[in-house]
A and B are shown apart, each in its own frame.
Chain A
């Protein structure tokens, strides 16, 4: 199956700093990638749809100026959590579908802890 990687797998940062998370499709091209956030014992909540070469589409209630998304190539999308605060601590997961297929392939996730 298709492989999606994320980096870093975990990160600890101080409040007020920015953190960048990378999502890569390793063996296929992804014009679209999705970013999810998962709090402990909760479901995956879609944050935004990352589109190669154009602006991301954010879900209602997600601050686009706080969660910056850049999809600069067909294999890489980045999520930057700006001015992170403890309430941003969560498990961030990306996914990518193969074109014209419903199935999505998930990255291994990034656990962010903001002190």
Chain B
């Protein structure tokens, strides 16, 4: 089983739609959870750190379910500029100061 698993998509949604991504992780001791955004051929950029059971930042809501070992990202009122690949990230099995990256979920927001 991969340490971090994501549905690769692609998710194609119209502007204004709400879209949700899920991610499962295998390390029950993980303490660090993040969502990164990566545009094509660019560097990953930190979108949200996920604290406690979850948090919200504008149109973006991240939730953490430790019992089921999954993280979700909800994007409301999708914009064309939200089109990107979204990476689920947790700290690795080896050490808390390494991160393990999921392969990403591709989102395209259509006009």
Q: Do A and B bind each other?
A: no
Using a CB–CB cutoff of 8 Å, the interface residues on chain A facing chain B are: none
Using a CB–CB cutoff of 8 Å, the interface residues on chain B facing chain A are: none
